[in-house]
Structure 1
């Protein structure tokens, strides 16, 4: 058969579960002798929409490039560019059957396109995108949404100009398109009974329209690839997680449980995380949670790395409603006990091979791990218990699908009213354009009102500015006159300062002359003082001589008689010397008075001259 596998993205652009499954399925079908073409969406940009065909291993992959897609989780599902390109691929390749894995990044009328071309289609519903544009029923705040009727307006991303009414109509158009897709599909497959129950409830799909076909595992370990490990109850409990380190996978719940257990006395755990993160902020959050704990981030990994780490138990704490879980298949093949949330297919599939905990509850998860550490025999019991349903090999899965493909290919596709589909879209677009025209008209009126108000305010501001300018001119004129007056006063003061400066220079010259006179008088006084001091010294010398003579007189009382005549003569001489000394003192006093009188007269003359100049 010529089988077209259709998927939203394909490795190596993205290698999540659906993409890896589609790749492994296509290879399995080729190995079984079928012709298989993969048609995938792409994040690759191009100047205009087109189809890029490349060989990839044993497969031919056609990617839709340059097809504009809105960012985020949006409700619009129809894409005209993808519609045209898909029709071209169908016309050129003419497959016997189309197996649609997902509509995302393509267009929401893909099955209708196949029906209009007379090509039967099988659809696998891998997630909850039919009833939730966010894919997994997880709100932006991380809480799970299990209601059938959901206020999706709060969760859907939109453009700034989109109103709630427009989003409501977009949801209605989306629901009608996808309901038609389900009606036209030759067979609707779901990977698990849990997915059938959930979609029947939230998407209102009759359960008998959904056929459960467990997915084939993209990874298969040969027998004996993993040796059985027997925990002895003494060493640490080795806990492993592998897959994307993404918020929806709940890896933070695992590390929060690790932090809860870290505070206990008997905390013997090792934590191993394998995988990479595309969200740097989330990666930083995980590493912050792991600080100080025995946590190892192994980064990107090969599946042989998982087997080599020899875990005691695997934990997959997803917050989503998982519809199958390939990592669970891998844990089963490794013979590992597993812990999974009590939500979705994993809880149904583990059977006796594992235990469940409350989704998103790190304390409940910590309680389960604490129990396994304290009761290691439970790990042994789980190792030897069988999961529900086991692991399906890709070859066995391909055989199951071959039967479904053959049965579907002989069915006549239901009739599709292409015009009705486009009438729905055109009606929605016309209403959308009418709403936007109305909003534009309202905005135009609002803009005109704003412009009129702006003109009025500008006119008022202009008048105010003119008044301010007139007032400013008046104040500037007054300030100019005041400045001129100040300049005139400054000129007069400068002239006065000039005259005072000249007078000061003259006074400076007079003071210099006075200082010279004072210096000369001081010199003359110093000379006379020196002379007076010399005379006083001479007098003191004579006084000393007289004292010596008197002493000699007293000492020589015995010679008084002989020396009377001589003493009388000497007495007369001494009297003469006293008179000379008194005369010297008188002369010295007169000299001082004369000098002081002369200095006083000169100083008075200088003072009179200075006083006359000051006046």
Structure 2
């Protein structure tokens, strides 16, 4: 009520003052009303004075239009080049200043942390000293510098309980050994699948908790070991060292020593008849054993040998079912593998023919440890060609081919040293005796005993040439790489991975596999031409160093661990 009266009085007062002229507009200059005085005065537009163009621009204007554009583009490019270092530095600073996200931090931590790696294979030193075993030993020792590594392998000790597990250490590498002698074998299926071995392997994985399992062989173990790793979400890598996944005998070599050039389950059934509980199987064994004994003296033509090996026998249908069950089991196992590694393109191609996806196979040669330098042994007055063989004494290695070839080489022109040991081989119970009979009466042929890996540099220091006479499709022979590391030329069979690694006339010579006369001709060529021998030694191929090989595998492992 009181506020309304106050507003009314103020309104009346303002009206009175306006009536007396107190609030009249003030006069402008020279009596012009204020409103008129405040009006803007019209301003005449003044054209800005044009500045003189710089001399460089005046020079451009004097050019033709096309030339002006070229000059302009060149100037812009020069400015960009001048500013490029500063811009790059600014971008680098911006990236460096970016705050790492939790995801980036986790990824960086995974890339730096040590991995837990398990290698699984059929045998391991000191119980076995073949190529794949020596390779895994060297690889594990190289990986121990950065990671936690363990090896799971099979041993065969008849005095111990079947499937007994033992934890030990070899050369600083933790190893887990499982005893399997096949004393409880009741079916062909038991030769490639063992639930007891798989269960023991699974229990070991639970204790070790690996990031990745690297399989090198499951023969004498179990195809189900791969399933045990996948059930635990572990990455699985499988190196293809031979043909065991395709061929039950592992080397695509029949019992009569003829090559199996293509995979066929029917051929496998005939070849494996002696291991299959089917009618006629044992009779088939006796026939093949007799033929193999004859072939050791008089090799049959390849076509005839293949026709004889494919003759039918009683119980063939049952044998075929057994082989097809094995093939199905192996294919199921392969489906669980994340990445295959093939040391040679030749082996990769054979597995692609069999049905593996080429995109899942990485071709990467094995790594090798460079030995300490060993001085070449002086010749003295002995000018003979010094030939050496290193490896296991089994028929597939073709040691008999080398001895037969050397029977025609004069003792005053060459000498042969054969290092290694005899191992069991199906169908050839006395192969060592056969070799000794071939060497009898030839003083320039000397058969030595087993050797250790550290002995290889010393042996090669006394050699002029290494011979690899294998009659099976070798993959990536260890001895070829050892010879290259020692600058020793190689004479090798001309098929399989050997032809891939030994370049004929560059770092070695190749000859027709299984042909003693062809091998003798290659050796006589080196005897007659010592200049060729020196040229081959100087042109040796490069070898992947084990440390570099381990780093490449680490990248593969980490990719699987992230997945």
Report the alpha carbon displacement of residue 160 of structure 1 after superposing the two structures with TM.
4.3
| Structure 2 residue aligned with 1:87 | 202
Match of 1:285 among 413, 424, 434: 434
Alignment deviations for residues 230-258 of structure 1 (CA, whole Å, 9 cap, x no partner): 999x9211111111122211111011001
| Structure 2 residue aligned with 1:188 | 340
Is residue 2:323 matched to residue 1:209? no
- Contact preservation (8 Å) 1:74, 1:133: no
Match of 2:270 among 135, 150, 154: 154
For the structure 1 residues 182 and 225, does the alpha-carbon distance in structure 2 shift closer, same or farther, using more than 3 Å as the test? same
Looking at structure 2, the residues matched to 373 and 142 of structure 1 have their Cα atoms a distance apart, in angstroms, of: 30
61-70 vs 327-336, which deviates more?
Answer: 61-70
For the structure 1 residues 130 and 64, does the alpha-carbon distance in structure 2 shift closer, same or farther, using more than 3 Å as the test? same
| Structure 1 residue aligned with 2:418 | 273
Report the alpha carbon displacement of residue 67 of structure 1 after superposing the two structures with TM.
6.3
Aligned pairs for 1:307-346 (under 5 A) are: 307-308=458-459, 310-346=462-498
Aligned pairs for 1:484-503 (under 5 A) are: none
Unaligned 5+ segments in structure 1 are 412-615
Higher percent of residues as helix:
1
| Structure 1 residue aligned with 2:243 | 128
**TM-score, normalised to structure 1's length?**
0.62
Report the alpha carbon displacement of residue 268 of structure 1 after superposing the two structures with TM.
1.1
Which SS does the other structure have where 1:392 is aligned? Answer: coil
Report the alpha carbon displacement of residue 70 of structure 1 after superposing the two structures with TM.
7.5
Which SS does the other structure have where 1:53 is aligned? Answer: strand
Across the aligned residues of Structure 1 and Structure 2, the Cα RMSD in angstroms comes to 2.5
Residues paired across the two proteins, number: 401
| Structure 2 residue aligned with 1:611 | none
| Structure 2 residue aligned with 1:391 | 543
Match of 1:143 among 226, 238, 258: 258
- Contact preservation (8 Å) 1:318, 1:359: yes
Is residue 2:451 matched to residue 1:301? yes
Which SS does the other structure have where 2:250 is aligned? Answer: coil
Looking at structure 1, the residues matched to 127 and 554 of structure 2 have their Cα atoms a distance apart, in angstroms, of: 28
| Structure 2 residue aligned with 1:235 | 383
- Contact preservation (8 Å) 1:125, 1:188: yes
Report the alpha carbon displacement of residue 273 of structure 1 after superposing the two structures with TM.
0.8
Report the alpha carbon displacement of residue 47 of structure 1 after superposing the two structures with TM.
3.0
| Structure 2 residue aligned with 1:359 | 513
For the structure 1 residues 18 and 71, does the alpha-carbon distance in structure 2 shift closer, same or farther, using more than 3 Å as the test? farther
Alignment deviations for residues 29-56 of structure 1 (CA, whole Å, 9 cap, x no partner): 1122x11111111212433533211122
Report the alpha carbon displacement of residue 371 of structure 1 after superposing the two structures with TM.
1.2
Report the alpha carbon displacement of residue 291 of structure 1 after superposing the two structures with TM.
2.0
**TM-score, normalised to structure 2's length?**
0.67
| Structure 1 residue aligned with 2:401 | 253
Report the alpha carbon displacement of residue 318 of structure 1 after superposing the two structures with TM.
0.9
For the structure 1 residues 228 and 337, does the alpha-carbon distance in structure 2 shift closer, same or farther, using more than 3 Å as the test? farther
For the structure 1 residues 66 and 8, does the alpha-carbon distance in structure 2 shift closer, same or farther, using more than 3 Å as the test? closer
Looking at structure 1, the residues matched to 351 and 276 of structure 2 have their Cα atoms a distance apart, in angstroms, of: 29
Report the alpha carbon displacement of residue 292 of structure 1 after superposing the two structures with TM.
2.3
Alignment deviations for residues 205-225 of structure 1 (CA, whole Å, 9 cap, x no partner): 2322211111112x4212x42
- Contact preservation (8 Å) 2:465, 2:491: yes
313-322 vs 203-212, which deviates more?
Answer: 203-212
Report the alpha carbon displacement of residue 117 of structure 1 after superposing the two structures with TM.
1.6
Report the alpha carbon displacement of residue 409 of structure 1 after superposing the two structures with TM.
1.4
| Structure 2 residue aligned with 1:490 | none
- Contact preservation (8 Å) 2:197, 2:225: no
Looking at structure 1, the residues matched to 186 and 493 of structure 2 have their Cα atoms a distance apart, in angstroms, of: 27
Report the alpha carbon displacement of residue 383 of structure 1 after superposing the two structures with TM.
1.0
Which SS does the other structure have where 1:273 is aligned? Answer: strand
Looking at structure 1, the residues matched to 500 and 380 of structure 2 have their Cα atoms a distance apart, in angstroms, of: 26
Is residue 2:320 matched to residue 1:168? yes
Looking at structure 1, the residues matched to 395 and 456 of structure 2 have their Cα atoms a distance apart, in angstroms, of: 23
Report the alpha carbon displacement of residue 73 of structure 1 after superposing the two structures with TM.
12
- Contact preservation (8 Å) 1:8, 1:104: yes
Is residue 2:234 matched to residue 1:119? yes
